[in-house]
Amino acid sequence: MALQILKLFNFSLKINGFNIAKANTALAKIEALQDSEFETYVKTQKQTILNYHLTHNSFYKSFGKTIDVKRWETVPIMTKRHLQIPLEKRLSTNFKNSTVYINKTSGSSGEPFVFAKDKWCHSMTWAEIINRFSWYGIDFNTSKQARFYGIPLDKRSYYKERLKDWLGNRVRFSVFDLSDTAFDATLACFKTTKFHYINGYTSAVVQFAKYLDRKSIVLKTVCPTLKVCVTTSEMLFKDDKVILEKQFGIPIINEYGASELDLIAFENPKGKWQVNSETLYVEILDANDKVLPLGEEGRIVITALYNKAHPFIRYDIGDTGVLSKTSTLQHPILEKLTGRTNDIINLPSGKKAAGLTFYYITKSIIENDGNVSEFIIEQIALDAFKIVYVSQHELSETKKLAITFEIERYLEPRIKVNFSRVAQLKRSKSGKLKQFISHLDL
């Protein structure tokens, strides 16, 4: 059985053009470099990716026309807003939609866009993820995953995700319904399935732990094969981590990543949030785009060292954080991260859903033509939501009806939705937008 799963997992990567064997070997060589060798590696990769896009990418050539290639500090900061133009205008020469990996950002920052990675870059992403999970004895070829994620509801995307779940040896639990009734079924599955790890949206996993607390159940006692839980996509607060550890009975590991980039940081066995220095170059900048000393809080700016299809060079991800004073170039430690929180959606029926449910709903308004540049969703009553957006053109009534239909489909019927087009959205002091805001006083 294990051999069969191994072949399925490798096959799923191979048929999509990802050479994971070669990427694993390349990553191992990078990790084996000594300090001085690693410094040379990073310097070379930064220069290589910068020169590549200045030569082969017309979008970036125009964006970076003031760059002095010998001075990294002259490279301008790229934001999500710079990338809200059709993807075809951002691809490098010799790449086209059919030859790259394409996806959309979740929109959790309120600034969605379509992005691309070349196949080798995405192979290195997979190698990084596999490496980090292996720290905790997780082998994607043989380990069974309990996955607390959303899933698209249109038939084609739905069955595509289900196929990926099968190939990835995982069982998916929807975050669109976090009721006790739904969790009863989830618990029953844990009692009969030999899961090895949990991976999912923080808010949904925490809600499951609170359910277990109400039932006075420790998950490890009903599913003794469980090894670890990895939370992702949302902030994990200390109080939430305590209840997760108590009710799951396994180590809780915090992951920080971005779909357009890679896994950014992963909690290592020493309890430190180790930054990915192998495929990314991470900087902490002040308001004037100056690099801050270790230990000072600033904007997280990241360079993807391998993506030749699409430039992510000194890319401001929209979060703020602190690199520990103990950090080295090869082993940076993320001491603090600000941002990426999502509230729980509460509904008239008593049903609850994760705030990231709106990732799937708002796919309806994420368009490759870049019309909608920013949006936030506010819950103003149990049955009423408001979508505030910035766009070049007013959303059509047809589009508004389609969005309302999707909200009812994912949440529940008779939901009221108002739309408000504005010139500019209000931001927090950090400059970050929060996609979902609940104004309910519960």
Per residue in 349-369, pLDDT (tens digit) is: 999 888 878 877 776 676 666
**Domains of the chain with bracketed CATH:** 2-125+259-338 (3.40.50.12780), 137-250 (3.40.50), 344-438 (3.30.300.30)
Query: 237, 215, 29, 203: which is closest to 124 by C-alpha?
Result: 29
- Kindly report the length of the chain: 442
Location of structure tokens 């069982």: 171
Straight-line distance from the first to the last Cα atom of the chain, in angstroms, rounded to the nearest whole number: 48
CA distances (Å), 94 to each of 89, 98, 118, 432, 441, in order? 13, 11, 11, 35, 54
294 and 333 Cβ atoms separated by less than 8 Å = no
Residue 434 has a pLDDT of 73
Within 13 Å, how many C-alpha atoms sit on residue 332's CB side? 24
Query: 291, 219, 260, 1: which is closest to 114 by C-alpha?
Result: 260
Query: 8, 260, 10, 12: which is closest to 121 by C-alpha?
Result: 260
Residue 215 has a pLDDT of 96
Compute the distance between CA of residue 156 and CA of residue 158 in angstroms, rounded to an integer: 5
Residue 364 has a pLDDT of 63
- Phi then psi for residue 166, to 5 deg, are -65, -45
Element (H, E) at 280: strand 280-285
Q: Write the DSSP string, 57-78.
A: -HHHHHHTTT--TT-GGGSPPB
- Phi then psi for residue 263, to 5 deg, are -70, 125
Compute the distance between CA of residue 392 and CA of residue 373 in angstroms, rounded to an integer: 8
Strand pairing class (262-267; 273-275): antiparallel
136 and 186 Cβ atoms separated by less than 8 Å = no
Compute the distance between CA of residue 108 and CA of residue 391 in angstroms, rounded to an integer: 17
Residue 110 has a pLDDT of 62
Q: Write the DSSP string, 154-167.
A: SHHHHHHHHHHHHH
Dump pLDDT digits (tens) for 382-411.
Answer: 999 999 998 889 999 998 998 999 999 999
Q: Model pTM?
A: 0.84
Q: Which residues of the chain have pLDDT under 50?
A: 1-6, 341, 430
